[in-house]
Amino acid sequence: MNTSHHRWLLEQLPKWESEGLLTTDAARTLRERHAVDASQPGAAQIIMGSLGALLIGTGLITIIGFNWDDFSRPVRLVFAFLPLLLSQLFSLRVMLRGDATAAWVRETAALLQALCTGACIALVSQIYNLGGEWPDFLFWWCLLSLPLVWVMKSSSVAIFYLIGIAEWSIHQVWGHQPWHASPMIYPLLLLGLFPFWPGWKLDRPLSITLRWVMTISAICGLCAAAHHATRMHFAESWGHFEVTLWQWVLTSAMLALFPLSSSALDATSRHKPQVILGFLHLLQFGVVATFLDMGQELAKAVREAWQVPWTWVLIAVIAAFAVHAIFRRRWAVLSVASIAITPVLALVMGETAQAVLPWLMTLHLSLIGITLIVLEFTGRRGAPRLGAALLCVLIIARMFESELSLLTKGLAFIVIGVAFLAFNICMSRLARQKQLPQS
């Protein structure tokens, strides 16, 4: 249940009490169990507050863009610093008032200050005709805004920071960047958000929006780091993009296996975007790797990837996360994440690896599909529909690759479709039967 569900339930309680549906004690228990933390802003409040701050900030930047060259330099510098000063005073007032300030006001103050910082730097560089590139400006803007996330507990500035560091990392892939100005430092930049959650237990829960933005930012940043590491290792020579592609698959496995607490494991899928996006990429890679043409490219990529230190970093992190996942009994996640390692197993076959790899991947995906279904029927955490869908996709892929007649292929597709629908109906009935005894 998210905050809006809790709010809806709390709104209904007085009515249900008056209608005699609930006793006073039951209503009190529900109120305690589904209490809404008033210090946490609602999505609508954040959006409205952020939109207001964005409009003011964009307005300031646009006014700056006009370039008031009729005024002297000192006057124009006052224009640059005045909004920053006012936004800082606004933030200070919000901080001093503490809990008395509405959550959306806090968000607005923090985002406005972040935007005014960017506007001030931009105006100073305009006044002095400074050159400089967008990524450098963005980097310093993000760093100067980051502490606002900690001290003002601002989700909107956290989102701005996450988008900013992802954009910066993508820009820094190209060119001759030393490691400290390259996407390799993205993990450190991401760790910069750590003080946002007080204590080692990460007590402050993340909103769904922030989870998704963080996951997408991490994907962009880590994929940029992988690409940069490969480019630098092979001295920018062409023909190594497949190495990066496999590192991206390892990154997806790492994200899917990211350690979760017991309560996070019980949450619904949309609370775990790293698992959803990781699964999608891994399965898509797995299916593509089953095509016979892909064997040669992949085997070559994996052989070369071992030479890149970033690959070892990814493997080491995946190993650590996998051990944690075993302790947590995340069998479904472990089975899907293992797709990333299949090309390595094929290399054991030596020269025949390129021929073996597609068949090994087909076997692996089939086993995963069956495992995901069987887990559910043995009372563990499985994903039967995903398993069935995976088996269907595999059969369809093999049909496309085969030289069977169109008539045979057409009939096969119909049979698979009917079987898939029948399975879906069975699963729905099974789910309903499970719910009946409880109700």
At closest approach, how far in Å is the CB of 120 from another protein? 5
Is residue 224 a contact partner of residue 170, using CB atoms and an 8 Å limit?
yes
Q: Point out which span in 122-130, 160-168, 185-193, 321-329 binds another protein (CB under 8 A).
A: 122-130
Give min distance, CB of 176 to another protein, in A: 5
Shortest Cβ 101–another protein spacing (Å): 11
Residue with tokens 């923090």, as numbered in its chain:
110
Examine residue 121 and tell whether it contacts another protein (CB under 8 A).
yes
Cα distance between residue 279 and residue 296, in whole Å: 24
Q: Is the Cβ–Cβ distance between 353 and 347 less than 8 Å? A: yes
**Would you say 56 or 334 has its CB closer to another protein?**
56
* Least Å from the CB of residue 65 to another protein: 3
Least separation, in Å, of the C-beta of 85 and another protein? Answer: 8
Q: Is the separation of the CB atoms in 108 and 73 below 8 Å?
A: no
Residue placing its CB nearer to another protein in the complex, 77 or 419: 77
268, 333 Cβ separation under 8 angstroms:
no
Pick 45 or 126: Cβ nearer another protein:
126
Number of chain positions touching another protein (CB under 8 A): 42
CA pair distance 348, 51, nearest whole angstrom = 56
**Cα–Cα–Cα angle for 287, 289, 295, rounded to 5 degrees:** 160
Which residue is it, tokens 């900690």?
Answer: 150
Quickly tell me which residue has 């869908």 as its tokens. 389
Of 177, 159, 38, 33, whose CA–CA distance to 103 is shortest? Answer: 38
Q: Is 197 in the site for another protein (CB under 8 A)?
A: no
Binding segment (CB under 8 A) for another protein, from list 125-133, 209-217, 224-232, 397-405: 125-133
Interacting residues with another protein between 130 and 149 (CB under 8 A): 130-131, 137, 140, 144, 147-148
132 versus 259: smaller Cβ distance to another protein? 132
**By CB under 8 A, what part of segment 52-71 binds another protein?**
61, 64-70
Q: Which is nearer to another protein, 73 or 429 (CB)?
A: 73
Which stretch, 118-126, 227-235, 336-344, 373-381, contacts another protein (CB under 8 A)? 118-126
Candidates 120, 224, 337, 373: give the one binding another protein (CB under 8 A): 120
Site for another protein in 268-287 (CB under 8 A): none
C-alpha angle 271-390-323 in degrees, rounded to nearest 5 = 55
Task: Give me 60's structure tokens.
Answer: 């300031």
Q: Does 157 bind another protein (CB under 8 A)?
A: no
Alpha helices in 153-207 (DSSP H): 155-171, 186-191
Find the binder of another protein among 10, 124, 341, 412 (CB under 8 A): 124
In the numeric block, the tokens 């992802």 are attached to 166
- Long-range CB contacts (< 8 A, 24+ apart) of 124-130? 124/77, 124/80, 126/64, 126/67, 127/73, 127/76, 127/77, 127/80
Binding test (CB under 8 A) with another protein, winner from 38, 82, 151, 421: 151
Three-state secondary-structure class, residue 215? helix
Cα–Cα distance, 121 to 116 (Å, whole number): 9
φ, ψ (nearest 5 deg) of residue 248: -65, -35
Instruction: CB nearer to another protein: give 211 or 228.
Output: 228
Q: What proportions of the chain, in percent to the nearest 5, are helix, strand and coil?
A: 80, 0, 20
Task: Among 79, 150, 197, 291, indicate the residue that binds another protein (CB under 8 A).
Answer: 150
What residues between 74 and 113 interact with another protein by CB under 8 A? Answer: 77, 80-81, 84, 88, 91-92, 95-96, 98, 113
147 versus 417: smaller Cβ distance to another protein: 147
Give the nearer residue to another protein in terms of CB position, either 129 or 405.
129
Rg over alpha carbons for the chain, rounded to the nearest Å, is 27
Site residues (vs another protein, CB under 8 A): 61, 64-70, 77, 80-81, 84, 88, 91-92, 95-96, 98, 113, 117-118, 120-131, 137, 140, 144, 147-148, 150-152, 176
